[in-house]
Chains A and B, each alone.
Chain A
C-alpha cells in the first residue's frame, strides 16, 4: 500500500448521483470534468511569478531538458512556456543554448548553475506538476455516466459525440474507454462499437466468484508489503464514530483494490481489475439510495484490516473471503432495487441499444 489515502486515492470525491429532486444524475456537463489546465501555462505562470518575485537569479541559463525534469513534463510545454516568457521580455536569447532569466530593469549576464527546484525559485519541495492528461481528466465523468447507464439497459458509446461532449480528441476518449474495458465495464472487439450493459445479476455473481478465488490469495501475497502506518489509518477510520458512507466507500476501495496490488503477479492484478462490478454496484446503490453506514459491513472490513495490522495475513485473507461471500448475498437485492429508479438524463454520447 502506498503511503496513505491521499496518495492512493486519485479519484476526485463525487457527490451523490441522486439529486435533491430524487432523480439520479449521470449527464453532468463537460465543465464538471476535471479542470483543463495546460502544462505550458502552469510552467509559464510559475516561472513568471518566481522571476518577478526575484526568486530566480538574473542571468540564470534555462535549458529545456533540466527545467522539464524539475516539472516532470516533456520538453514541449517547457519550450512553449519559454517562448511566451520571451515574448514578455522576462527571458532573453543569447549566443548560446537556452534563455537567460531577465527580470525587468536588469541587464543579465549568463550564469550557468545547476537547475533544480531551488534555482527556479519554487518554494515547495516537490515541484513536479501533476496535470492530468485529457483521458485522465474525462475518465471520472465517463466512468460515472457508464456505470450508471448500465443499470438501465444496453448502450453504445458514440466516440464522436464523446469527443464533442468533452472537447477532447478521439485518442483521449479511446484511452479512457480502454481503461473501462480493463475494468470490465465496457466491451469492445475489433469490428464493433464500444458497448456497455445491461448489468445482470449473473455478471455480478460471476465477478464475486472470481474475486473469491483470487482476492484472498492476492491479499496474502500483498499483506507483508503493505505500509503499517496506512493500515493503522484504515483501522482508525473504521473505528471512528463519525464514519460516513463516502469514507466507508473509500476504505472499501482501499481494501478491494489497493491492498490487493502489492505483489509481482501482473496477471493476477489484471484479472482482479476485470471483476470490479461488485464494487461498482455497491457504490451506485449506496450513493443513489443515500444509505446509512451498515455496521455489519464495517465489522467485516474491520476484521480484515485488524488482521493485516497484526501481521496475520492468512486470517486477513480468510476474513476477506467471508466478507466476499456475505457481500455476494447482499448484491442481488441491490441490483433489483436499482431497477426501480427512474432513468436519469444520460449524456448524448450514450446511445441506447435496448
Chain B
C-alpha cells in the first residue's frame, strides 16, 4: 500500500498503538467532567419535557396538536422525516464510505452509527404517537387477523415504512454492536473495578482477540455492510414514497426518492458535524478527528446540499413545464404564499449557505463549521415542513383552505426528542469508546508504525 505525500495524515500527533487505546478510553475510565454533567443534565430536562408532552398527547388526546381538517399531517411527520434523515449519515459513513474505501471514516463512524440508532428512536415516536392509541401500535404489523377485520394495507408505503425502518434499525444496531465488540473487550481488559469488569465482560461476548474471532468479525461486518447499503437507500426512498405515491400537487413528483436520499445524507452530515465539532474539542480527540476530517465532511455537505438544491430547481421548473395548473399553483404557493418564509429559509439554508464551503479556509474553521451545521439542520427541518404543510394547507376546494401552526404540546414533543437524542449520546460517550479503537489502529500512518520507527532509529534518523 503506497500513499501519496499529498494526502493528509489521518492521525496526527505521532501516536503509538498504546497511546491510541489510552486516548480513546480516557473519558470512559475517568469520572465525568463538569461539561459532561452540564450537557447531560440539560438533555435530561428536555427528555422530561418529552415525557410530559407525550403524556398530554395520550392522556387528553390528539386534540392537543395543531392538526386540522386539511392539514392532517404536519409536525409529527415533519419531525419523523427529519430524524430518519439524520440517521442516514451513520449508515452512509459505515457502509457506503466503506465500499468507496474512504479511510477517513474510521474515526467518525462509531459516533455516527450511534447517532443513527438514537435518531431512529426519536423518529419512531412520531408515527406511533400519531396513532393516538399507542397501545394498539402493534396493529401496524401484519399480524394474523385475530383482532377483527383489520388487516394491514400492503399497498401503502406507510406499511413499507414499518418494514423498512424496523429492518434498518435492527441492522444498524447489529452493525454498531459488532464493531463495538473488540473495543468493549479492550475496555474490559483495562477495567479496574469489579462492576466495570463484569459489565464489559458481558457485552464483549467472550472476545479474546484471537485470529478466529477476527475472522468471524470481518465476515459478519462485510455481510452487514452489504445489507446496509441497499437498506439505507431503501429507507429514505420509501419515506419519500409516503408522499410521492399520492396525487397531491407538490408531493407527486418522480425525483423524490433520490432527492430525499441526498437530503438525508445532507442533514445527517449536518448533525454529525454539530456533534463532532464539539466532541473532538471536549474529549480531546483532535488528533483523531482532525481538521481534515471536518474538511471532508464539509465537502459532503456542500455536494449533497447542492444536489438537493438542484432538485428544488428541477421541481420548480418541471411544475411550470408540466402545464398542470394545480402543480404550478402548489409551487407558487410555496414560494410566495402564506408559508413563503419557510420556503426561503429552506432555500437559503440548504442551497445558498453550504456554498461557503467552496473555500478551504471556511472548511477548516470549526466555529464556522459549527454554525453552518446548525443552519443545515434548520434548513432540512424546514424542507420537510415546506413539502408537507404547504401542499396540504391549500386543498382543491378553497373552503378547505387552512393555516397550520404548532401547539405548545407539539413543540414540546419536538424539543423533547432532542432531549432523548442527546441523553443517549452523552451516555454513549461516557460508557462506550466513541472512536473505534481497533479500526483507528488500522489506519496508522505508515511512518508511525513501530516497525518504521525502529528502522529509522537503526538508520540513525531522528523522526519528526
Q: Do A and B bind each other?
A: no
Chain A residues near B (Cβ < 8 Å)? none
Q: Which residues of B contact A (CB under 8 A)?
A: none
